[in-house]
């Protein structure tokens, strides 16, 4: 269902001369599709088309946009198997995993469409005492055209975390997918075009980094980027030139904490899934595990048993596929080798687990905390496990990392206090990565994991600007913003101010807390 929106007529001399690239099935090496390398002019033309449609889309009311997004959701749901197959071919992930990411995406699309009005619609707010003659209101208006630069690991779920929310907020979108998954992007855009054939709500531009960089410079009103921290910085640098705001979702090094009273079977099951699912190519996947010393050995045994039950391959029993990006194999190989060189031990897998296309599950123990396998994003089916004295040490080690995307806790208690002490944007208690599947929860991180949020109310607001309006309801008894203001009125204002705020310091003092506790709280 290809729908070419190239401004070069297909078959023309110009079209024939264009550069193209192939997307490859990483499990087999087969060519899945061939796509144009869009240059700066192409990208600008796509943004111009998106801009031409932006007024129409923003002008629809929330109900109108919701109706379109609902129809799109229907198309996606009915053709789920087709979409999953494209994902399977371009990423190599098993169909079941492709189905999982598409299922979550459809649920998010439904949430974004149905909550946009409540979150973004006009609300009256109190004008306060000093401007009591004003009616004050705020609403969140679309920015216009949003550029989305997406990754390959979840080529539906991740970019749609921006696309669905940006559309629901009233923007049109130009999407630059990873060079590894352009077919998935086209499939998505084509399916929306079936619902709205006459407007450019979602267009795809394909190519490499240069095409993404061109999108940053093409005059879009915001860029939503998901990928590595290094590329995130380049995206920001490009956006600086035009003061284009950005959302950066830049991966992580998520920790899982296992307390002494945790359900160890459940923890090992979840840890294995969090670390190995999607061959570890999950930004909020589990990459390091800190386990209470009292249960460490038992946990490692349980996790090892789970790891041995999972293998990467193309056979029907393979629960994980290949590494989608061939270059990632070198990263994984380097991290595993470094961990082993520096005294680490592979309980399962190890150096020989890193093959030509596939990496087998690997569990590493006794790995120094300053080695790459603990500090850098590995993005493979490997995990480090470390024994800790208590959960305080686990929190300290977790927070020592430069990333701060997600985290998980397994505990017999409620875990909420522990969760708040972890410097990560999201935490799952007694499960892993659940936060990503709850549409009403914002998704994003701190530190090197980036900033800004997709999903939830914050994810809708991210693609809008706040519009504040005051309307004079009646003439103010004292008008302070006129040159007719008199000294008597200024005295009255001083008296009023005293009545309103002057007694603040006379309020009872807060009970004194030792400085150390206050400092300790801030740090944690």
Catalogue the active-site residues: 249, 283
- Of 140-148, 231-239, 311-319, 495-503, the window that binds ligand NDP (rule: CB under 6 A) is 231-239
The footprint of ligand NDP on this chain (CB under 6 A) covers a number of residues equal to 29
- Of 196-204, 228-236, 302-310, 454-462, the window that binds ligand NDP (rule: CB under 6 A) is 228-236
Q: Looking up tokens 């998901």, which residue turns up?
A: 226
Contact 460, 120 (CB under 8 A): yes
Should residue 283 be labelled a site residue for ligand NDP when binding is judged by CB under 6 A? yes
Of 37 and 136, the one with the shorter C-beta distance to ligand NDP is 37
The residue from 71, 138, 209, 421 that contacts ligand NDP (CB under 6 A) is 209
Token digits for 219? 């005059």
Q: How far is the CB of 78 from ligand NDP (least distance, A)?
A: 28
Should residue 149 be labelled a site residue for ligand NDP when binding is judged by CB under 6 A? yes
Q: Please give the full DSSP string across 345-362, using - where no structure is assigned.
A: EEEE--GGGB-SS-B--E
Should residue 153 be labelled a site residue for ligand NDP when binding is judged by CB under 6 A? yes
Beta partners for residue 365, in sequence order = 345, 385
Should residue 250 be labelled a site residue for ligand NDP when binding is judged by CB under 6 A? yes
CA–CA separation, 108 and 54 (whole Å)? 22
Q: How far is the CB of 229 from ligand NDP (least distance, A)?
A: 8
Q: How far is the CB of 151 from ligand NDP (least distance, A)?
A: 3
Binding to ligand NDP by CB under 6 A, coded x per residue (else -) over 96-135, reads: ----------------------------------------
In the region spanning residues 329 to 348, those forming contacts with ligand NDP, defined by CB under 6 A, are 331
CA–CA separation, 441 and 432 (whole Å)? 15
- Of 63-71, 148-156, 253-261, 414-422, the window that binds ligand NDP (rule: CB under 6 A) is 148-156
Token digits for 93? 């992930």
> Which own/partner contact pairs does 7-14 have at CB distance under 8 Å and 24+ positions apart?
7/42, 7/45
Token digits for 414? 């409620």
Q: What sign does the CA torsion over 254, 303, 320, 341 have?
A: positive
In the region spanning residues 158 to 177, those forming contacts with ligand NDP, defined by CB under 6 A, are 158, 176
Q: Report helix, strand or coil for 46.
A: helix
The residue from 23, 162, 226, 424 that contacts ligand NDP (CB under 6 A) is 226
Q: How far is the CB of 422 from ligand NDP (least distance, A)?
A: 19
Which H/E stretch holds residue 304?
A: helix 296-308
> Please, is 40 exposed, middle or buried when counting C-beta atoms within 10 Å of its C-beta (0-12, 13-18, 19+)?
middle
Q: How far is the CB of 152 from ligand NDP (least distance, A)?
A: 6
Cβ within 8 Å of residue 520, ≥6 positions away: none
Binding to ligand NDP by CB under 6 A, coded x per residue (else -) over 368-387, reads: ---------x-x--------
- Of 56-64, 186-194, 246-254, 272-280, the window that binds ligand NDP (rule: CB under 6 A) is 246-254
Q: Which residues of 101-117 are buried (b: 16+ CB within 10 A; e: fewer)?
A: bbbbbbebbbbbbebbb
Nearest partner of 203 among 54, 21, 370, 31, judged by Cα:
54
Cβ within 8 Å of residue 222, ≥6 positions away: 143, 146, 147, 166, 171, 244, 245, 246, 247, 462, 463
Should residue 212 be labelled a site residue for ligand NDP when binding is judged by CB under 6 A? yes
CA–CA separation, 204 and 224 (whole Å)? 14
Of 142 and 251, the one with the shorter C-beta distance to ligand NDP is 251
Should residue 21 be labelled a site residue for ligand NDP when binding is judged by CB under 6 A? no
Of 377 and 462, the one with the shorter C-beta distance to ligand NDP is 377
Should residue 418 be labelled a site residue for ligand NDP when binding is judged by CB under 6 A? no
Of 66 and 423, the one with the shorter C-beta distance to ligand NDP is 423
Should residue 489 be labelled a site residue for ligand NDP when binding is judged by CB under 6 A? no
- Of 22-30, 134-142, 152-160, 295-303, the window that binds ligand NDP (rule: CB under 6 A) is 152-160
Q: How far is the CB of 143 from ligand NDP (least distance, A)?
A: 19
Nearest partner of 409 among 274, 298, 255, judged by Cα:
255
The residue from 231, 278, 360, 411 that contacts ligand NDP (CB under 6 A) is 231
Contact 318, 312 (CB under 8 A): yes
Should residue 227 be labelled a site residue for ligand NDP when binding is judged by CB under 6 A? yes
Cβ within 8 Å of residue 238, ≥6 positions away: 213, 216, 217
* Alpha-carbon distances, residue 474 vs 108, 253, 409, 477, 479 (angstroms): 44, 57, 56, 9, 11
The residue from 104, 235, 286, 385 that contacts ligand NDP (CB under 6 A) is 235
Residues near ligand NDP (CB under 6 A): 149-153, 158, 176, 178-179, 208-209, 212-213, 216, 226-228, 231, 234-235, 249-251, 283, 325, 328, 331, 377, 379
């Amino acid at each position: 269902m290809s729908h070419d929106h190239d401004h070069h007529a297909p078959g023309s001399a110009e079209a024939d001369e264009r550069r193209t690239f192939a997307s490859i099935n990483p499990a087999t090496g087969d060519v899945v599709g061939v796509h144009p390398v869009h240059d700066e002019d192409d990208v600008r033309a796509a943004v111009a088309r998106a801009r031409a449609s932006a007024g129409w889309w923003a002008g629809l009311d929330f109900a109108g946009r919701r109706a379109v997004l609902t129809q799109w959701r229907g198309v996606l749901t009915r053709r789920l198997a087709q979409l999953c197959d494209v994902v399977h071919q371009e990423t190599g992930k098993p169909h079941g995993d492709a189905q999982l990411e598409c299922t979550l995406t459809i649920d998010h699309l439904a949430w974004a469409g149905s909550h946009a009005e409540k979150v973004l619609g006009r609300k009256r707010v109190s004008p306060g005492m000093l401007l009591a003659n004003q009616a004050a209101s705020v609403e969140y208006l679309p920015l216009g055209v949003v550029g989305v630069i997406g990754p390959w690991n979840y080529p539906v779920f991740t970019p749609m975390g921006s696309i669905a929310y940006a559309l629901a907020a009233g923007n049109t979108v130009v999407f630059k997918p990873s060079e590894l998954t352009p077919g998935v992007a086209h499939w998505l855009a084509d399916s929306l075009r079936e619902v709205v054939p006459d407007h450019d709500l979602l267009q795809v531009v394909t190519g490499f980094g240069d095409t993404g960089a061109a999108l940053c410079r093409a005059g879009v009103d915001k860029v939503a980027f998901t990928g590595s921290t290094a590329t995130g910085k380049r995206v920001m640098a490009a956006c600086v030139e035009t003061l284009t705001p950005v959302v950066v979702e830049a991966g992580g090094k998520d920790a899982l904490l296992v307390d002494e009273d945790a359900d160890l079977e459940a923890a090992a099951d979840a840890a294995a899934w969090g670390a190995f699912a999607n061959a570890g190519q999950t930004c909020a996947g589990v990459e390091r595990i800190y386990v209470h010393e009292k249960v460490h050995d038992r946990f490692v045994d349980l996790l090892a048993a789970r790891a041995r039950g999972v293998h990467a391959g193309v056979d029907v029993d393979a629960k994980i596929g290949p590494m989608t990006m061939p270059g990632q194999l070198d990263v994984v190989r380097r991290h595993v080798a470094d961990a082993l060189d520096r005294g680490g031990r592979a309980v399962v897998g190890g150096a020989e687990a890193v093959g030509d296309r596939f990496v087998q599950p690997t569990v590493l123990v006794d790995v120094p905390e300053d080695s790459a396998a603990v500090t850098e994003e590995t993005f493979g089916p490997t995990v480090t496990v470390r024994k800790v004295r208590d959960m305080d040490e686990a929190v300290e080690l977790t927070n020592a990392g430069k990333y701060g995307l997600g985290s998980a806790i397994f505990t017999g208690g409620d875990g909420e206090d522990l969760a708040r002490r972890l410097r990560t944007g999201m935490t799952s208690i007694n499960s892993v990565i659940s936060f990503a599947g709850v549409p009403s929860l914002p998704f994003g991180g701190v530190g090197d994991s980036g900033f800004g949020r997709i999903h939830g109310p914050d994810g809708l607001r991210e693609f809008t600007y706040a519009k504040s309006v005051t309307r004079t309801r009646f003439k103010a008894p004292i008008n302070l913003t006129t040159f007719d203001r008199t000294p008597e009125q200024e005295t009255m204002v001083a008296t009023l101010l005293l009545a309103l705020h002057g007694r603040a310091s006379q309020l009872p003092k807060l009970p004194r807390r030792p400085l150390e506790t206050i400092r300790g709280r801030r740090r944690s």
